[in-house]
Amino acid sequence: MSNIGIIIPERARDIGNFLVGRLLPFHSKRMVGPFIFIDHMGPVTMSEHQNMDIGPHPHIGLSTLTFLFEGAVVHRDSLGTAVEITPGAVNWMTAGHGIVHSERTPERLRHAGSTLGQVPERSLHGLQIWVALPKALEDMEPAFHHTEAKDLPVWEADGARFKLIAGEVMGHRSPVPVHSPLYMLEVHSEAGGEVRIGQHLYGEVGMYILRGGVQEGAGGEWHGERRILVAKDPSLCTFTMAPHTTVYLFGGEPFPEERFIHWNFVATSEARLEAAKQRWRDRQFPELVGETGYVPMPER
């Protein structure tokens, strides 16, 4: 019997000057554990005069997780943070009752193609993820934490290489300061083979196939890249990886309350969303020093 409850394909979405692959939310599966939003950015190689420029915009009720495979992005926020994230590192921003941030191509790389040729950093490829906060922490103070790639737990088992990006699983804990029981785990296999980790998982679990292919169980259906497989029972999570395959397992304990989402806001009530929308219209969110521009909130 199949242990796959739902298959979520990647769908193209326009976020301004970039197209991304939207994975969550999905019409029949709004969340997986506390994970409420996942975008696959790229891969794209930017032209000489093309840059990533996502101007100042607000968030409430969530933590953002940025994880790059290629490229570089400068994060600035209303706490005074200014940090460049590079491949393998983790940016974890907790919005709480309200934060404003921007994401831009580093100044050192702007128009780099005209003088340096196509440098690797002119490519952009990664995951942008939102994790909902527990109801009791919706109004917490905003915070930001950057974790270098070298500080993430890495180990090998079943012929595969594991990297724990966030949370706790399989006896390992990431230094990223999460706010509920969850995990985001990279699994890579060069040779391919069977991976049995169901006994270590908890809550709900989804698997995003970045590259390669995965076979469910023994002799089951093969699934290709750029889709999420959501398991019916995490404890039965056994799969075979094709050679040169990379997947991301993510999930954790789901919340008892429904979550509402509008634009960049996540909340346990529609009243909280309406209040946040009005605050942004009235320019009552904290300012982002050194930034110009204002991203208007879409009304629909």
Q: Write down all domains in the chain, each with its CATH number in brackets.
A: 11-148+259-292 (2.60.120.10), 152-256 (2.60.120.10)
Q: What are phi and psi of 226, to 5 degrees?
A: 65, 45
Q: What are phi and psi of 279, to 5 degrees?
A: -60, -40
Cα(225)–Cα(7) distance, rounded to whole angstroms?
12
Q: What is the pLDDT along the chain (300 residues), one digit of tens a residue?
A: 467 767 877 766 655 555 567 777 777 778 999 999 998 887 877 776 677 788 899 999 999 999 999 999 999 999 999 999 999 999 999 999 999 999 988 887 776 654 445 555 568 899 999 999 999 999 999 999 999 999 999 999 988 999 999 999 999 999 999 999 999 999 999 999 999 998 999 999 999 999 999 998 767 889 999 889 988 888 888 899 999 999 999 999 999 999 999 999 999 999 999 999 999 999 999 999 888 778 888 876
| pTM check: above 0.75 | yes
Cα(177)–Cα(173) distance, rounded to whole angstroms?
10
CB neighbours of 216 closer than 8 A, spacing ≥ 6? 2, 3, 4, 223, 229, 239
Specify the DSSP element, H or E, that contains 270.
Answer: helix 270-281
| Residue carrying the six token digits 């049995």 | 196
- Per the DSSP assignment, residues forming a β-bridge with 163 are 154, 186
